Amino acid sequence: MSWAPVYAFVKRIPRGRVITYGGLAKALRLRGGARSAGRAMAASPSGKGVPWHRVVGYGGKLLIREPYASLQRKLLESEGVTLRESRVDIKKHVWTPTKNKPKTSKRSRSAN
């Protein structure tokens, strides 16, 4: 399976926001749920602009092992994300993707 759609989705997460592995899996309807999302993030290519640090565990928990856990913490804090111990303040920083609505042109609106 190609993880390209997962990486494209993760690139949409704004600075200072996070999504859980489960939320990512649900949004993309990934087979295997949060575990599949975790596998995809573990395999994310470096140098391709994938903000892997914005994907966290249930309840905002940082699940990655050291030394990447420290890096994830630093990257999130640099974006203004509030952490207490190894948890993101999920209520404050969770990102909920919006569904793209088709835009209507001015011409089609004025015709009605």
pLDDT tens-digit series, residues 41-76: 999 988 889 999 999 999 999 999 988 899 999 999
The domain 4-98 is placed in CATH, from the list 2.60.120.200, 3.20.80.10, 1.20.120.1200, 1.10.10.10, at 1.10.10.10
The two beta strands, 19-20 and 87-88, are: unpaired
Q: Is 90 helix (H, G, I), strand (E, B) or coil?
A: helix
Whole-structure pTM value: 0.83
Interatomic CA distance for residues 74 and 107, integer angstroms: 48
DSSP code for 25 = H
Residue 20 confidence (pLDDT): 95
* 57, two tokens: 């565990």
